[in-house]
Amino acid sequence: MKKLEQGAYHGVNIGKLAFNGLIISHNQYPGNSTADWHYHENPHFTFIMKGKSVEKRKKTIIHCVPGTLLFYSPLEAHSNERYQHGCKHMSIEIEENWFKKFDIGIHDIHATPVIQHHDIKNNFVQLLNELKNNDPFTKLGIEGLLLQALASVKRANNTSPKIPHWLKQVNEILHEQFTDLPSLREIGRIVNVHPVTISKEFPKYYQCTLGEYTRKLRIEKAMALLGRKTQALEEIAIQCGFYDTAHFSKIFKKHTRLTPAGYRQLL
């Protein structure tokens, strides 16, 4: 099995920034290319900016789409295939000395392969924007955003209780029907739980209300579609369940600190 050098990834590197023990790489992948089983010495995050692919790990298969945020433990083996033409990733590799600088144990950071936490994803969207700014404050901003993300990962690991089966069903309904959401009463009827109980219990496990969670799902869907630069913002707004482009822009900026057009420019 191949070990890749620090900061090295399969595909074509189209940009790299290395400082203070962080290596940030932008990589683009030819269509239908593959990457045989390999691993990296250091932990890293990868944010899928454009395109789709399939990743295999020891115990799971991940269908990567725009907006997906992946975490890799040190030496974690994986392979990739079926890259869509123009697939573009941003990866942040973290060296041991960076963890030591902030008194963080490198093995204290445990995350699921696919990070679903909306706020952590937004840290990486804002990080993309910091890279674009490329001013004297960029490196400081990147470190701050990465520390926020790691703190959220650690906090989630320490506080995440086991989610009841019925609440997982609610989450599945939200993901499947977020553009045309059933009423709370209808959701309650489907999962056989009183609507008041759903409203009360949902924030305990997902750190936000049902309405806020649904907005975040719509934003994530929009992020995936914004990579299609031929698709008008008006079409994306309607497809993702927003009233119009003004409503779309307002909610998108509230969650990402960027307008939809601004985010599209980062891709």
pLDDT digits (tens, 9 = 90+) for 113-171: 999 888 899 999 999 999 999 899 999 999 999 999 998 887 776 655 688 999 999 99
Q: CA 83 → CA 65, 106, 131, 149, distances in Å? A: 10, 30, 25, 27
Q: Are residues 96 and 126 in the same domain?
A: yes
Q: Are residues 177 and 135 in the same domain?
A: no
Q: Of 4-8, 23-27, 110-114, which range is least confident?
A: 110-114
Structural domain ending residue among the three candidates 159, 189, 205: 159
Q: Are residues 210 and 117 in the same domain?
A: no
pLDDT digits (tens, 9 = 90+) for 97-111: 999 998 887 776 777
Q: Is the pLDDT score of 236 beyond 80?
A: yes
Q: Let me know how many helices (H) and strands (E) the chain has, helices first.
A: 10, 10
- pLDDT at residue number 207: 84
Average pLDDT of the segment spanning 16-35: 93
Q: Around Cβ 182, how many Cβ atoms within 10 Å?
A: 13
Q: What is the CATH number of the domain that holds 222?
A: 1.10.10.60
* Domain that includes residue 182, residue range: 165-266
Q: Are residues 236 and 110 in the same domain?
A: no
Q: Please say whether the beta carbons of 52 and 84 come within 8 A.
A: yes
pLDDT digits (tens, 9 = 90+) for 199-233: 999 998 888 899 999 999 999 999 989 988 889 99
3-state secondary structure of 216: helix
Give the H or E element holding residue 118.
Answer: helix 118-133
Q: Are residues 136 and 251 in the same domain?
A: no
Q: What is the CATH number of the domain that holds 69?
A: 2.60.120.10
Q: Are residues 50 and 149 in the same domain?
A: yes
- pLDDT at residue number 219: 93
Structural domain ending residue among the three candidates 102, 133, 159: 159
pLDDT digits (tens, 9 = 90+) for 32-78: 889 999 999 999 999 999 999 999 999 899 999 999 999 999 899 99
